[in-house]
Amino acid sequence: RFLFRPYKPVYFFPIFYHSKLNRLPTTDNPLTSVSEAQNLDHLEAKFQLSFKTKLVDGLVGRYGDLWLGYTQTSRWQIYNEKESRPFRETNHEPEFIFTLGTDYRLLGFDANLLSLSLNHQSNGQDEPLSRSWNRVILTVGLERPDWVVLLRPWWRIPETSDEEDENPNIVDYVGRAELLVVHRRSNSHQVSTRIRHSLKGGSDNRGSLDLNWSYPCFDRLRCHAQLFHGYGESLIDYNHETTVIGLGVNLIEWFE
């Protein structure tokens, strides 16, 4: 308990290039719609920090534990000298996670994890740039040697009124579930694929694809490449479709 442990990957991308900038973030809520275009560079930097710690051991039986997790991702306009190199967007994601160890086989995998999370995500800004939402996330974890599969459907906790909804219809863009598949090869290459989808068809058929590859290159550092396409690369861009390429290094991977 209370020992800080790795959670999600920890990385730094000095190269993070957007094919299509969201200079004028808008939503269906007038209070969270920008009226003046921002001066942004296509090229910026991005980094992610993430940790977790166990709060309660054996909350339900031998295997029911309560954890606190925190993940932060920042997009930094470090090359934008005209605007004094501002942080364009920082997303904070604290969550309480109840985990339950399981022991059964499914499709050739060991199903060793079932968890339920109360998740908050926000960017800490004032209107009209403020974005936030709350979710309850179910996670089913499957693994076998050198493979991990996480299936994560979620339910958004509704806002009390339309005026308080800073990102209307976010689940129709970011999605209602994600599938994460991580594979580590014997030569230390690690590849991950994350797919998010709205679970709807027609005009609401949206989501994202996030591909990552890493390889040991500098002592404990791993070279890391990322390709993202779709909606929700960050909260401010939840309803903005773009393709992004990131190049850099990481300290922590899914497999450690």
Rounded Cα distance between 92 and 245, Å, is 22
Active site residue: 33, 50, 92, 120, which one? 120
Known catalytic residue at 122: yes
Catalytic residue among 117, 122, 132, 192: 122
Q: Copy the structure tokens of residue 35.
A: 């009226």
Residue 17 and residue 244 in contact, taking contact as beta carbons nearer than 8 Å:
yes
Q: How many other C-beta atoms lie within 10 A of the C-beta of residue 28?
A: 12
Beta carbons within 8 Å of 221's beta carbon, 6+ residues apart: 249, 250, 251
Which residues have CB under 8 Å from 75's CB, separation 6+? 16, 44, 45, 46, 87, 88, 89, 90, 234
Residue written as token pair 């390709």: 227
Active site residue 161: no
Hey, which bits of the chain come out as E strands? 5-6, 10-18, 43-60, 64-76, 87-106, 109-122, 132-144, 147-156, 177-184, 190-197, 207-218, 221-231, 241-252
> Measuring CA to CA, which residue among 184, 221, 242 is closest to residue 14?
221
Q: How many residues does the chain have?
A: 256
Residues with active-site annotation: 120, 122
